[in-house]
Amino acid sequence: MKLQLLIVFVLSLDKFPEKCHSTTESGKVLSITASTPERVDILRNISSQFETVLWQPASPFHIMANSEVHLYVPRESVLTVTELLESNQLTHSLMVENTEELIEIQTRNDSSDPRTSVAYYERYHSLEDIYFWINKTTTDYANIVRLLLIGSSFEKRPLYVLKLSGKASNTPKKAIWIDCGIHAREWISPAFCLWFVDHCIKYYNESRDVTEMMDSMDIYVLPVLNPDGYRYTWTTKRMWRKNRSIHSNSGCVGVDLNRNFDANWCTSGASSNPCDDTYCGQYPESEPEAQAVANFLRSHKNTVQLYFSIHSYSQMLLFPYSCTHEQARNHDELYELVRDAAADIKRYYQNNYKYGPGSKTIYLAPGGSDDWAYNLGIDYSFTFELQDRGHYGFLLPPRLIAKACKEGLMAVKSISLKVIRKP
């Protein structure tokens, strides 16, 4: 009853439409490569000026010689930036011609009525719609889905977790945790969580794998870990990554929630500057969103056996550590799990995913949720980077949602079932 009231309250809070971007975000995304250390420095400089936004890597610090950098450049700065690139012999090509056009396609036709059309899961949804979907799904499928409130965001939006359970067992069940949308602009991620829940509901008692997964383990799904940031990408700034917290010590807003966990917190690979996209926050778990997840996992650490955090983009299946170059205690086992999952994706969907420990596969990035969960004792901890590999980047068109989700689903199933079936 109380929960229902809360949902109604939240829905009315979020009444005004999220579609109209107050700023037009028309610009281009360039793919740039620096071939010498001097050029790397110049590119780092460019990427922190002219209102540009780094898509890949997440911070200027991670820009390296001879590896591709994806940079959003607003229309007004395109000429200046291209001239600078040319005069400094920075090789570049056009990745996205017109961001506004792709944003329009991503936000088009957003119906607030879930499940009336089969295409619901092949579209992106505003935060308001996702709250509506959560309410409806937990009401309609009360026999297998339960609604949990694990905390609230900086702007006081509820953090809901859906708990999926198959048939009860007499031994205490282990559990799987999946979170989506820790980074605001990675829209395919919340879309994956919705897809995943729908798939579990549809195929429970239909598909052997889904049934086995749900009968052996409870599955906790947090569809939007960073609701304030997600909403902000719909209303104001499509390229936003962090949450929306305000700090007394700076005029800049937001903390990178995937740098805010207590795993070599704020060491090399995170930023202590509140204005940066990888700002680690004032202290570990300073952010209510990170704290809510950490509290939940701490209190369920004896049951949660598998942890998945869903991101985009770059097509990677990662495991600890990202916060150090040290090897995880069960490195070989984790390596085999992601290697096999990548092979499954390749076989069924003809798509290539890289795999390995985060620090070696992408970059050193301390304070991540996966490393923290792993150190808590969750032996099977993963971060997935879904599609694509840098064609549309964060602006993946709706027609590609299905394939991206199927690939992620394949990896979750492949890994989970192997852990479940372990002798």
Catalytic positions, please? Answer: 385
Total residues interacting with ligand ARG, rule: CB under 6 A: 12
- Rounded CA-CA distance 152/13 in Å is 14
Torsion angle of the four alpha carbons 130, 131, 133, 139, in this order, in degrees rounded to the nearest 10: 160
Does 290 sit near ligand ARG (CB under 6 A)?
A: no
Residue 58 near residue 88 (C-beta atoms within 8 A): no
Does 191 sit near ligand ARG (CB under 6 A)?
A: no
- Minimum Å gap between C-beta 137 and ligand ARG is 28
Does 285 sit near ligand ARG (CB under 6 A)?
A: no
Exactly one of 315, 383, 387, 414 binds ligand ARG (CB under 6 A); which one?
383
For ligand ARG, give the closer residue by CB, 32 or 317: 317
At residue 271, what are phi and psi to the nearest 5 degrees? -115, 145
Query: Looking at beta carbons, which residue is closest to ligand ARG?
Result: 368
- Rounded CA-CA distance 322/373 in Å is 12
Exactly one of 368, 393, 398, 408 binds ligand ARG (CB under 6 A); which one?
368
Exactly one of 154, 311, 313, 410 binds Zn ion (CB under 5 A); which one?
311
The amino acid that residue 48 corresponds to is S
In what order do the strands lie in the sheet containing 91-96? 53-56, 69-74, 27-33, 91-96
- Minimum Å gap between C-beta 294 and ligand ARG is 14
Of 45-53, 324-332, 347-355, 358-366, the window that binds ligand ARG (rule: CB under 6 A) is 358-366
Strands (E), 62-202: 69-74, 91-96, 145-152, 158-164, 174-180
Per-residue contact track with ligand ARG, 303 to 342, x per CB under 6 A? --------x------x---x--------------------
Provide the CA 279 distance to its chain's centre, in angstroms.
17
Q: What is the token pair recorded at 282? A: 């004032």
The amino acid that residue 406 corresponds to is K
Exactly one of 21, 183, 231, 238 binds Zn ion (CB under 5 A); which one?
183
The amino acid that residue 173 corresponds to is K
- Minimum Å gap between C-beta 39 and Zn ion is 26
Of 62-70, 82-90, 178-186, 289-297, the window that binds Zn ion (rule: CB under 5 A) is 178-186
Exactly one of 52, 243, 258, 324 binds ligand ARG (CB under 6 A); which one?
258
For 44, residues 6+ apart whose C-beta sits below 8 A from its C-beta are 60, 61, 63
- Minimum Å gap between C-beta 258 and ligand ARG is 4
Residue 358 interacts with, from Zn ion, ligand ARG, none (CB under 5-8 Å by kind)? ligand ARG
Does 259 sit near Zn ion (CB under 5 A)?
A: no
Residues engaged in binding ligand ARG (CB under 6 A):
58, 258, 311, 318, 322, 358, 362, 365, 368, 370-371, 383
Residues engaged in binding Zn ion (CB under 5 A):
183, 311
